[in-house]
Amino acid sequence: KAVKEITSGKGILTRDKALELGSVGPTARASGVKIDVRRDDPYAAYAELQDKEYTILFGGDVYSRIYLRFIETAESFELIHKAMKNIPKGEIILPGGRVFVPASEGMGRVEAPRGELFHFIKTDSSNNPMRLKVKPPTYNNLPAVGEMLIGAKREDASLIISSIDPCFSCTER
């Protein structure tokens, strides 16, 4: 109850602003945005494991971001239990050794705890990366902090900033 009183109504990010600023993960979903790589572009076993709709909240405040993370943590445990029941029998250790990748490029995205984590890699014929780009979710979510701080009290700033669970070193370019 105390957490709700302290965090409700603070650091509001509306759905429209979350979309405009490109917010991802719990930051966006706590503002009513249906965005989740596991559902939008299922990878690995997510296509078979996901049977629920998006979990979204509409408050857009610090409390909504905290509460959504609790909900998603419980949902993650459910997914783990489902996955464990469906693990196929057999060897789980892959043979070792180096893998040769011809000159090519590729990209991948996954839903990390903070939102979409994007990787791009380009290799040359020497099997060395020519280019590697990583875009962590904090990179997408930081612009929203400015919006959340409008009209906020100075003493609430650290609470509001922390509510997006930022990784500042992840945004180092």
pLDDT per position as a tens digit, 16-28: 999 999 999 999 9
pTM, rounded to two decimals: 0.90
Helical H segments across 57-165, by residue range = 62-85, 137-149, 157-162
The pLDDT of residue 131 is above 90: yes
pLDDT tens per residue across span 70-81? 999 999 999 999
Contacts 24+ apart (CB under 8 A), 45-51: 45/83, 45/86, 48/86, 49/79, 49/82, 49/83, 50/79
Q: What is the pLDDT of residue 124?
A: 87
Distances in Å between the alpha carbon of 159 and those of 39, 65, 66, 162, 169? Answer: 30, 11, 11, 5, 19
